[in-house]
Amino acid sequence: MGLRLGRVVVGHPWRVIGVWAVVAIVVIGFAPKLATTTNEASFLPSHYQSVQALDLQQKAFPNAAAPAAIVVFERADRQALTPADSAQVTSFAATLVSRPIPTFGAVQAGAPSANRLVQAIFVQMPNSSGQLDKAQTAAIGTLRSDVSSATTGTDLRGGVTGTAAQFVDQQQSGNRANAIVFVGTVGLIIILLLAIFRSPVITLLPVLAIGVVSQIATGLIGSASKVFNLNVDSTVTAMLIVVLFGVGTDYILFLLFRYRERLRVGEDPKTAMVSAITRVGPAIATAAGAVIIAFLALTLSSLGIFRSLGPALAIAVATTLVAGLTLIPAAVSLLGTRVFWPSSAWKSEPKGARFDLMGRSLGRYPGRFALGSGGVLVILAIAAIGFRPTFNLTSGSDTTTQSAVYSNVLLRGFPAGATEPTDVLLQSTTGRPLDVTALKAYRDRLAAVPGVAQVGAPRLAADQTVADFQVLLSSPGESNAAMATVRGPLQKAAGTAPAGSRPLIGGISSVFVDLQVAMDHDYAIVFPVAAALILLILGILLQSVVAPWYLMAAVGLGFAATLGAAVAVFQDIGGSSGITFILPIVMYLFVVALGTDYNILMISRLREEAREGRNPHDAAAMAVRHAGPTVASAGLILAGSFASLILAGGSTLGQMGFGISFGIAMAAFVMAMFLTPAITALIGHKAWWPGHSDEERPPPHQAGAVRPVLVGAVD
């Protein structure tokens, strides 16, 4: 198959490029824009309590949405508000009521806080679910402008916070983050490619090609999201940049290194490209297949965030795979050896190369390399025992935004949970109105719960069959302390509902509690399914029962070591309360799938060397010598690409950037480079049992695997 594909691509390069041009025009021109959300509740299925509470609240109180915008006022000198100050706040609220801003609902001025340091105005935005449209985004901007005008020349200062304002600020920060990640990723790729090949042509070719491919992939993902109604998390766009450019460059490197190698043995450029596709194409396709299947395993998740993340990343990898085996070879076949201009280093292999020395040493002492590399991973893996998840996807976000600043100002006068209240809803199970007297006693029981700062009077639905108690917690809604309160004593107190009613707890803290339950479910399903599918792919590729098991064991150890490193850096050294809950699954998939990529490349080369008649130790040595530079270069580029996520700011992307980049570095420079070839050398021929895929075979030219391209078969 690789030979046939190589001949078609190299024989008709202009047609291949033309097809890509047509696809780009159609997809980029007509695909819908990729929309994202930061509303965690939208990721949960309907059987969870927090989602049921939200649905009940919206049905029972359709015109009383929770305040999406909170206008916070304090004195510029940070002293107590005077009666005149409070009158100005009330007057401003009246102005908003008399001149309503489009998309805003009810506007209510609250009383000054007990210490009179803060006063707030609460603005509702009906139908706001965490994904604002353009009109709602503009309304937040208008409100902020009005607040600025109203406080100019007064003793007050004010700003807008709340869920809608936070969304607007996160969206703006996300756009900046994406720009930073893009510049960092592309800049790093350019620098590393220049250092590796010393050619501006071969440096710009992948960047330009992947730039076009990324637009196609994003368009396809946008179409899939619209057709299948997928809720794409706001962090996905930054990850797509890294996956498209990082993984795409990796696959291109796999091809170009083998292309250069075939040129060095004397093949002409077109024949060399056909040989490269024939020899390394199956490894690239298998590696990409492992990544795609691992990502698609996320569709088994109970969380919408992963069910949409998986297909999105799978589409991105599939697009880069097709481009790596068609578009890039077509372009290179037109350029020939000019792709390396002005460098002439491609003509001969450097003498005394360090990978040759490493390969010889590994072939001579495989046991030492296996123990040394495995020992490093085991030591790091021990730290993973202390892993603690945190469920706030926006933790560590930019603290200089107006919503963040005035959220902290609000805390000067109100409980920490004021911006993200918890709701305890009672629903009649008999269809009759709730007993008002019993509701008062129920409220007293909720107020007595440790960790609860305040419980509002019950708000009754029009038919009095639903009551809503707004509960302000003593801790921020996304904190572990708030989750512990909701999960424990508040849930117990809520369970003492009056006869003939059932309780539901809603709000962001309840959402995070349900997310934790869902994650425990997903850990038990997604991890083993992804591992089993990758194991099956390895078995098919290597035609072996033994090799896939120790390769997967090595990659699993690499995952544990990476999680341990993240725990050590962020929890033990950084003092963080926990690591974002999505990191283990995302890191698992990237480290396992992409780590398998490098193992596939190395083991495929080791098998190729064994087929040429070398014993297991010599085959391992030659594999490190020839595949080592490719694995090291690809690993450095991909790890560096993911590390650029750290530049985006915020703990979620920062932790993901560190975790994935560290895991890829371990996969490339410890597992693929040393651990797996050393173990394969120690096991010897038994590694390929029950097959004989490492046995000596006729040279490719004798078997008819690669023949020169026929004259006249080129455009």
DSSP 159-197: EEESHHHHHHHHHHHHHHHHHHHHHHHHHHHHHHHHHHH
Does the pLDDT value for residue 237 go beyond 80? no
Does the pLDDT value for residue 235 go beyond 70? no
Domain match, 11 and 84 both: no
The per-residue pLDDT for 693 is: 62
Does the pLDDT value for residue 133 go beyond 80? no
In a domain, 709, yes or no: no
Does the pLDDT value for residue 46 go beyond 50? yes
Read off the pLDDT of each residue in 392-399 and give the average, rounded to a whole number.
54
Looking at residue 711, its amino acid is V
* C-alpha to C-alpha distance for 300 and 265, rounded to whole angstroms: 47
In a domain, 542, yes or no: yes
The per-residue pLDDT for 230 is: 66
Q: What CATH number is associated with residue 6?
A: 1.20.1640.10
- CA torsion sign for 574, 578, 582, 584 is positive
Does the pLDDT value for residue 86 go beyond 90? yes
Q: How far is CA 527 from the centre of its chain?
A: 16
DSSP 8-state code for residue 674: I
Buried b / exposed e over 193-203, threshold 16 CB at 10 Å, is beebbbbeebb
Query: Which residue did the predictor score with more confidence, 253 or 32?
Result: 253
The per-residue pLDDT for 534 is: 83
Domain boundary at 506, 523, 541, which? Answer: 506
Domain match, 498 and 519 both: no
In a domain, 402, yes or no: no
* C-alpha to C-alpha distance for 559 and 567, rounded to whole angstroms: 12
Beta-bridge partner residues of 121: 71, 109
Domain match, 14 and 138 both: no
Does the pLDDT value for residue 461 go beyond 50? yes
How would residue 429 be classed by pLDDT, with cut points 50, 70 and 90? very high
Does the pLDDT value for residue 351 go beyond 70? no
E strand or H helix that includes residue 422: strand 422-428
Does the pLDDT value for residue 712 go beyond 60? no
Domain match, 15 and 72 both: no
Read off the pLDDT of each residue in 657-679 and give the average, rounded to a whole number.
90
Q: Do residues 436 and 421 lie in contact, with contact meaning Cβ atoms separated by under 8 Å?
A: no
E strand or H helix that includes residue 427: strand 422-428
In a domain, 711, yes or no: no
- Judge if the upstream peptide bond of residue 112 is cis by omega within 30 degrees of 0: no
CA distances from 128 to 58, 159, 310, 316, 710 (A): 11, 20, 26, 30, 63
Task: Provide the residue range defining the domain that includes 143.
Answer: 63-125+131-161
Does the pLDDT value for residue 130 go beyond 80? no
How would residue 128 be classed by pLDDT, with cut points 50, 70 and 90? very low
Does the pLDDT value for residue 354 go beyond 70? yes
Read off the pLDDT of each residue in 26-31 and give the average, rounded to a whole number.
85
Q: Strand 119-124 vs strand 67-75: parallel, antiparallel, or unpaired?
A: antiparallel
Does the pLDDT value for residue 271 go beyond 70? yes
How would residue 708 be classed by pLDDT, with cut points 50, 70 and 90? very low
* Nearest CA among 171, 175, 173, 234 for reference residue 38: 234
The per-residue pLDDT for 118 is: 93
Q: Do residues 575 and 386 lie in contact, with contact meaning Cβ atoms separated by under 8 Å?
A: no
Does the pLDDT value for residue 661 go beyond 60? yes
Contacts of 500 (CB under 8 A, 6+ apart): 428, 429, 430, 432
**Count of alpha carbons within 13 Å of 300, Cβ hemisphere only?**
16
Read off the pLDDT of each residue in 632-655 and give the average, rounded to a whole number.
78
* Nearest CA among 341, 336, 193, 195 for reference residue 269: 336
Does the pLDDT value for residue 440 go beyond 80? yes
Domain match, 461 and 607 both: no
Domain boundary at 506, 525, 543, which? Answer: 506
Read off the pLDDT of each residue in 24-40 and give the average, rounded to a whole number.
72
Query: Which residue did the predictor score with more confidence, 592 or 670?
Result: 670
DSSP 8-state code for residue 668: I
Read off the pLDDT of each residue in 77-92 and give the average, rounded to a whole number.
93
* C-alpha to C-alpha distance for 661 and 642, rounded to whole angstroms: 5
The per-residue pLDDT for 443 is: 93
Tell me how far apart the 2 most distant CA atoms of the chain are, in Å: 96
Does the pLDDT value for residue 705 go beyond 70? no
In a domain, 714, yes or no: no
For 528-546, the pLDDT digits (tens) are 888 888 888 888 877 888 8
Compute and round to an integer the Cα radius of gyration of the chain.
30
Does the pLDDT value for residue 584 go beyond 90? no
Buried b / exposed e over 507-528, threshold 16 CB at 10 Å, is bbbbbbbbbbebbeebeeebbe
Residue 681 CB coordination number (10 Å): 27
Please tell me whether the overall predicted TM-score, pTM, comes out greater than 0.85 for this model: no
Q: Strand 389-390 vs strand 579-580: parallel, antiparallel, or unpaired?
A: parallel
Domain match, 371 and 340 both: yes
H, E, C per residue of 56-82: HHHHHCCCCCCEEEEEEEEECCCCCCC
Q: What CATH number is associated with residue 435?
A: 3.30.70.1320
Query: Which residue did the predictor score with more confidence, 584 or 399?
Result: 584
- The values of phi and psi at residue 188, to 5°, are -65, -45
Read off the pLDDT of each residue in 493-508 and give the average, rounded to a whole number.
91
How would residue 368 be classed by pLDDT, with cut points 50, 70 and 90? very high
Q: How far is CA 13 from the centre of its chain?
A: 35
Q: How far is CA 448 from the centre of its chain?
A: 40
Q: Do residues 161 and 419 lie in contact, with contact meaning Cβ atoms separated by under 8 Å?
A: yes
Read off the pLDDT of each residue in 125-144 and give the average, rounded to a whole number.
73
Does the pLDDT value for residue 367 go beyond 90? yes
Does the pLDDT value for residue 397 go beyond 70? no
How would residue 14 be classed by pLDDT, with cut points 50, 70 and 90? very high
Q: Strand 232-233 vs strand 36-37: parallel, antiparallel, or unpaired?
A: parallel
Query: Which residue did the predictor score with more confidence, 656 or 35?
Result: 656
The per-residue pLDDT for 651 is: 67
Average pLDDT, the chain: 83
Q: Please tell me the total count of domains within the chain.
A: 3
* Nearest CA among 244, 266, 297, 373 for reference residue 533: 297
Q: Which spans in 448-507 are helix H?
A: 480-485, 491-494
E strand or H helix that includes residue 220: helix 200-228
In a domain, 603, yes or no: yes
Domain match, 115 and 226 both: no
Domain boundary at 483, 506, 529, which? Answer: 506
Domain match, 12 and 82 both: no
CA distances from 177 to 180, 249, 644, 651 (A): 5, 21, 10, 12
The per-residue pLDDT for 63 is: 63
* C-alpha to C-alpha distance for 327 and 334, rounded to whole angstroms: 11
Domain match, 198 and 298 both: yes
Read off the pLDDT of each residue in 379-408 and give the average, rounded to a whole number.
77
3-state SS class at 253: helix
Domain match, 576 and 494 both: no
In a domain, 410, yes or no: no
Domain match, 429 and 382 both: no
Angle subtended by helix axes 616-643 and 583-611, to nearest 10:
150
What burial class does residue 615 get, using C-beta atoms within 10 Å of its C-beta: 0-12 exposed, 13-18 middle, 19+ buried? middle
Percent of the chain with pLDDT over 90: 24
Q: Do residues 519 and 340 lie in contact, with contact meaning Cβ atoms separated by under 8 Å?
A: no
* C-alpha to C-alpha distance for 583 and 128, rounded to whole angstroms: 28
Domain match, 483 and 531 both: no
Percent of the chain with pLDDT over 70: 88
How would residue 258 be classed by pLDDT, with cut points 50, 70 and 90? confident
The per-residue pLDDT for 158 is: 93
In a domain, 199, yes or no: yes
Read off the pLDDT of each residue in 138-145 and give the average, rounded to a whole number.
88
